[in-house]
Structure 1
């Protein structure tokens, strides 16, 4: 069904005269009559009856009118969904409790006029493919893992270097420390069941282990952060690493401790990825906001893998 004929029908129905509809659509009255005739032939019914006062809807025309309006609304929404100036900015934040989620909440508070679609993709390959296909506009990632450089059409910028903290239960040997050095953690069991081989965070922690001789265990099923916190709180032999900006809530009787790590401080590098040819105007606004508000870069006394893309 041709949308021009549907649009002409709605204009004529609203105006009650073909002549006024022609003026509204900037076409001739003859063109309006032809379009209505084409629509009537396609539907197999008469939509208007000519009267001395103009054109009145038949019963079939009255029945068709609300559906015609909905067709035009659907068409408008469909066009808006691919129009970068009108559709929401789509951003991958990996997880709902991490630093990227907080950065996007801050962006939304600063720019409530910008529509956002926030989603969570698991691995960097999926995120890059979604950026290249146009399914998303940007993604927060730690780039790039060894042997997996970004495609040339993908741009990136470091937006945040997030310190790691040691999370322990109240009975852990390090629980009373105000801070711990990396050397002090050596020999303690660090349990992180969320590490998945092949991800950028797995590459990060592999290098951390190799650099400092730490013991990180990723054994057992990953039942999520609540189960991790329960286990660490109840087991003096286990601790875990937690990023500084990760938002977690636990029962008061858990007695968990978040302890800064120093000498050096391992920092997790968050970067924003996007397609170099992406024209969405809100993408530039997001990049400017992050440059102004998320400049948490730590050089002196910090550590990160040598494969991390420089700022």
Structure 2
């Protein structure tokens, strides 16, 4: 149903004259008549009766009028939901418990007037498609992975590096270590069931394995972080990588250990991506907030990122 014809009908019904409706809509009286006639043909009924005083809704017109008003209200709400400056800033993060999610909480605390929607998409290709369609305004992703080129209309800037730690149960051979180097992890089974082949984070761990001779297993279904923690706690032969900034809570009896990884420190490189033509007013504020973040102190043994990671 053409909303312009519906809006014209409601305006004419309220005005009582096609001439006054035309003036309010800034169109000709002939245009009002044509729109009303088109709506009458679509509905198969007459909506107005001509009178000496102008035009009055027929019985069918009176029946249709409240529904027409509701159609216009729904249309206005729909437009308002996506109108720049009137809708939330929609930001995608790779992990709702990770560092990017924490940064968005900090941003919201400092900018409570900015309405936010924080969501989690599957991979960088899905996130880039959402940026280009306008479904989201920004995303935190590792960029540069082979097979995942960025289109020219997508901008990116590297904003922070997220250090990884080793998570073990109390019976693991490395559970008492104060730190562990990447070369020392060779020969130990690292279980990460959330790795999905073909994603940018899978490319990250593929390169980590190739450079340091690690064994990372992604077999078995991914039942979520709680099930992962249960398995790591109960299986001395298994460990997993976890961001040092990931917020985790586990039962006291698990006795899990978070062990820093060194020599060098593996970090996951997060970049902020956005569409170059995105006009959302809060996007510039988010970018400025991230640009002002204090730089993490340099690790004594340096950090490791895949060779395809851009420097900025």
What TM-score comes out, normalization by structure 2 length? Answer: 0.83
- Larger deviation: 61-70 or 33-42? 33-42
What is the match of residue 151 of structure 1?
151
What is the match of residue 206 of structure 1?
206
How many matched pairs?
A: 311
User: For the residues of structure 2 that align with 1:38 and 1:214, how far apart are their CA atoms?
Assistant: 70
Query: CA 1:50–1:294 in structure 2 vs 1: closer, same or farther (change >3 Å)?
Result: farther
What is the match of residue 57 of structure 1?
57
Structure 1 regions of 5+ residues with no counterpart?
Answer: none
Cα distance, 1:65 vs structure 2: 0.9
Cα distance, 1:57 vs structure 2: 3.4
Cα distance, 1:203 vs structure 2: 2.1
Cα distance, 1:207 vs structure 2: 2.4
User: For the residues of structure 2 that align with 1:65 and 1:29, how far apart are their CA atoms?
Assistant: 20
Assess if the C-alpha contact under 8 Å between 2:265 and 2:299 holds in 1.
Answer: no
What is the match of residue 100 of structure 2?
100
What TM-score comes out, normalization by structure 1 length? Answer: 0.84
User: For the residues of structure 1 that align with 2:145 and 2:73, how far apart are their CA atoms?
Assistant: 45
What is the match of residue 123 of structure 2?
123
- Larger deviation: 222-231 or 145-154? 145-154
User: For the residues of structure 2 that align with 1:67 and 1:148, how far apart are their CA atoms?
Assistant: 48
RMSD of aligned residue pairs (Cα, Å) = 3.0
Structure 2 regions of 5+ residues with no counterpart?
Answer: none
What is the match of residue 46 of structure 2?
46
User: For the residues of structure 1 that align with 2:291 and 2:128, how far apart are their CA atoms?
Assistant: 22
Assess if the C-alpha contact under 8 Å between 1:159 and 1:296 holds in 2.
Answer: no
What is the match of residue 302 of structure 1?
303
Assess if the C-alpha contact under 8 Å between 1:269 and 1:304 holds in 2.
Answer: yes
User: For the residues of structure 1 that align with 2:224 and 2:34, how far apart are their CA atoms?
Assistant: 64
Cα distance, 1:112 vs structure 2: 4.2
Assess if the C-alpha contact under 8 Å between 1:162 and 1:296 holds in 2.
Answer: no
SS of 2:166's equivalent in the other structure is: strand
User: For the residues of structure 2 that align with 1:52 and 1:112, how far apart are their CA atoms?
Assistant: 57
What is the match of residue 237 of structure 1?
237
